[in-house]
Amino acid sequence: MYICINKKVNMKNILFLISLVFVVGFSSCKKQDPIQPSKGTVIYNDPNVNPVGTSWELYSGKVYTTNLDNNTLNYYDHFGGTKNNSNLDIFSNSFLPLDIITKGLTTWKFTSTGQFVLDNNTTYTYNFNSNNVYTVFGLENGSARPIEVLKSTENFLYVKIYESNGNNGTNNFSFYSILTFVKSGFVGTVEEYQTPYGYTYGGILNGNITTTPSLTGTKWVVTKFIQNMVSTYPNDTLTFVSNTQYKINNSTVRNYNVSNIVGSTMKSLSLYSFTTLGGDWSGQVQGTFINDWVINNSSFVNIMSNTTPETRVWVTRIQ
């Protein structure tokens, strides 16, 4: 028995299979177009650059607030229109030079020797940790200020600073600022840092946020303090003549500061040349102390001495 093989047909099949393999192989090797990033996100393509050694000039600033009573998120411009000055403490207005900011005039510089130079004339020390935080020490009230670098490029520096709590007389808030610096002498278009998700713009700062009552114009009497287990009743009168200065018994003016305490609803009251206790003293008081008209049994410490024991202080508002 003979089997007939159609060689012509088989050759066609073979050619078809070869061509099929070639097409499949070519298709699998075709170069794919890259996935394009979303155009709705601001992407900073420049790599991070060490900000140390560069003189940075303040270009803009925004403060981000969270109303802790209703979870409302708002943000405000520190500067705008004719307003070129602002304060990082948006409710109490800190007197510390680092917290007083001016668009185009405030300058920062981190030196390679661990010095932080403010406005080209005031020097503090700083250290750096792995979380990209530069902590500035030795501020005028003895405190320190952490500065988180969010992004740094050859020409731009974006930092998060003064994360704290405050009260506007009605609601409690948490807040922080993001400042944009440019390299001194930079000329060109400035990229603003992207606003965090969920915040609603509220305008220029101070035009929209009602601050807490001021100490300016009020009078208080130091009725008692306990130091080294000894009670003293001085009855000294403190008259607050401005947002930064006060008098003791109508003597010469001296400085004071009221500021928020990070992570707390308490406030820090610092009294400089406070001769009632003898020196510069700072204490933690209730955030509502101005409206309460009283400071009761609050702990005050000597700013310039680590060995002086704390003093418990009682003060009553009389005007």
DSSP 9-55: HHHHHHHHHHHHHHHHHHHHTPPPPPPPPPTTS----SPP---TT-E
- Residue 3: the pLDDT is 43
Q: Classify strands 145-152 and 115-118 as parallel, antiparallel or unpaired.
A: unpaired
Per-residue pLDDT tens over the stretch 197-239: 899 999 998 765 655 567 888 999 999 999 999 999 999 999 9
Of 215 and 1, which is predicted with more confidence? 215
For residue 13, pLDDT over 50 is answered with: yes
Say how far residue 73 (Cα) sits from the centre of its chain. 16
Nearest Cα neighbor of 238 from 225, 253, 227, 226 is 253
Q: Classify strands 100-102 and 85-87 as parallel, antiparallel or unpaired.
A: antiparallel
- Residue 84: the pLDDT is 93
DSSP string, 57-108: EEEEEEEEEEETTT--EEEEES-BTTB-EEESSTTT----GGGEEETTT-EE
Read off the pLDDT band of 253 (50, 70, 90): very high
For residue 153, pLDDT over 70 is answered with: yes
DSSP string, 108-130: EEE-TTSEEEETTTEEEEEEEET
For residue 277, pLDDT over 50 is answered with: yes
- Residue 178: the pLDDT is 97
For residue 247, pLDDT over 50 is answered with: yes
Mean pLDDT, to the nearest integer, of 168-183? Answer: 91
Percent of the chain scored above 70 by pLDDT? 82
For residue 73, pLDDT over 90 is answered with: yes
- Residue 151: the pLDDT is 94
Per-residue pLDDT tens over the stretch 16-37: 544 544 444 444 444 433 333 3
- Residue 143: the pLDDT is 82
Of 127 and 40, which is predicted with more confidence? 127
According to DSSP, the residues that pair with 154 across neighbouring strands are: none
For residue 41, pLDDT over 90 is answered with: no
Q: Report the b/e string of 15-43 with b at 16+ CB within 10 A.
A: eeeeeeeeeeeeeeeeeeeeeeeeeeeee
How far apart (Å, rounded) are the C-alpha atoms in residues 268 and 283? 6
240 contacts 227 by C-beta, under 8 angstroms:
no
Say how far residue 127 (Cα) sits from the centre of its chain. 17
The amino acid that residue 112 corresponds to is S
Q: Which residues contact 82 (CB under 8 A, 6 or more apart)?
A: none
Element (H, E) at 284: strand 281-285
For residue 4, pLDDT over 70 is answered with: no
135 contacts 147 by C-beta, under 8 angstroms:
yes
192 contacts 181 by C-beta, under 8 angstroms:
no
Q: Classify strands 73-77 and 200-204 as parallel, antiparallel or unpaired.
A: parallel
Of 307 and 176, which is predicted with more confidence? 176
Q: Which residues contact 89 (CB under 8 A, 6 or more apart)?
A: 99, 162, 164, 166, 259, 260
Coil, strand or helix: which one is 165? strand
Q: Which pair of structure tokens corresponds to residue 264?
A: 């707390």
- Residue 266: the pLDDT is 82
- Region of poorest pLDDT, from 39-43, 128-132, 147-151, 287-291: 39-43
216 contacts 240 by C-beta, under 8 angstroms:
yes
Per-chain mean pLDDT for the chain: 83
Rg (CA), the chain: 31
Of 267 and 253, which is predicted with more confidence? 253
Coil, strand or helix: which one is 193? coil
Predicted model pTM? 0.64
Of 3 and 129, which is predicted with more confidence? 129
Mean pLDDT, to the nearest integer, of 251-272? Answer: 84
Per-residue pLDDT tens over the stretch 101-149: 999 999 999 999 999 999 999 999 999 988 899 999 988 877 889 999 9
